[in-house]
């Protein structure tokens, strides 16, 4: 009797594992459809996402530099040990550097809502900006970031509450300040408006 119960439990566990693997494989395949929306310049600073990870967060950064090219060069260097999924220029141009299904190394020591290791379940977006609180973020940059979020939301469940700054998630608190001067309410409004327009006009 015990042997039968054990075999039944093992069969159920195997079935649940098979279903979980199938779901995660499908999720990863759907994430791949989001890649290469603009130019793609691969960074070597990537790693696989954990099996359990669901992409449900966007972390917005500023590069603390003045050009898109300088940020791309840093993320292309293996010595830097950092990367982001997207780099957004002042003019709204976008370079993707890491596939969505992979982890970019953008968050560092971090936690959101008690869950550590934000890289595992987030998409990192770097905006070209000096991060001095005075350098402006042009309309084109806001719109480009909103467009990325809108595209991510076609596959991922990313609520407004999980569109966050690097400063918000970095540990220890105060380790990061970016993106200084960025209007998150405006970004979230743009993303919602675009989503509403798409749904109203299929």
Residue of 105, 2, 88, 8 whose CA lies nearest to 48 = 105
Q: Are 149 and 191 in contact (CB under 8 A)?
A: yes
Q: Which two tokens stand for residue 189?
A: 């409004």
Residue 193 known to be catalytic: no
Q: Is-cis flag, bond preceding 192, omega within 30?
A: no
The residue annotated as part of the active site, out of 29, 69, 126, 193, is: 126
Nearby residues of 6 by Cβ (< 8 Å), 6 or more positions away: none
How many C-alpha atoms does 169 have within 13 Å on its Cβ side?
Answer: 29
Query: Rounded to 5 degrees, what are φ and ψ at 6?
Result: -60, -45
Identify any residues that bridge with 135 across adjacent strands, giving them in sequence order: none
Q: Please give the positions annotated as active site.
A: 126
């Amino acid at each position: 009797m015990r042997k039968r119960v054990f075999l039944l439990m093992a069969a159920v566990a195997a079935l649940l594992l098979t279903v979980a693997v199938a779901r995660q494989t499908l999720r990863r395949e759907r994430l791949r459809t989001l890649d290469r929306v603009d130019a793609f310049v691969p960074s070597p600073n990537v790693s696989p996402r954990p099996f359990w990870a669901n992409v449900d967060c966007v972390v917005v950064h500023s590069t603390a530099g003045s050009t898109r090219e300088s940020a791309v060069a840093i993320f292309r260097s293996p010595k830097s040990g950092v990367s982001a999924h997207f780099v957004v220029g002042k003019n709204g141009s976008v370079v993707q550097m890491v596939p969505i299904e992979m982890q970019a190394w953008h968050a560092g020591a971090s936690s959101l809502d008690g869950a550590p290791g934000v890289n595992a379940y987030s998409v990192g977006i770097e905006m070209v900006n000096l991060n001095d609180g005075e350098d402006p973020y042009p309309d084109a940059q806001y719109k480009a970031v909103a467009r990325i979020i809108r595209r991510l939301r076609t596959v991922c469940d990313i609520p407004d509450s999980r569109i966050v700054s690097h400063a918000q998630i970095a540990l220890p608190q105060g380790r990061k300040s970016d993106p200084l001067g960025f209007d998150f309410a405006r970004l979230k409004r743009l993303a919602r408006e675009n989503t509403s327009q798409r749904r109203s006009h299929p």
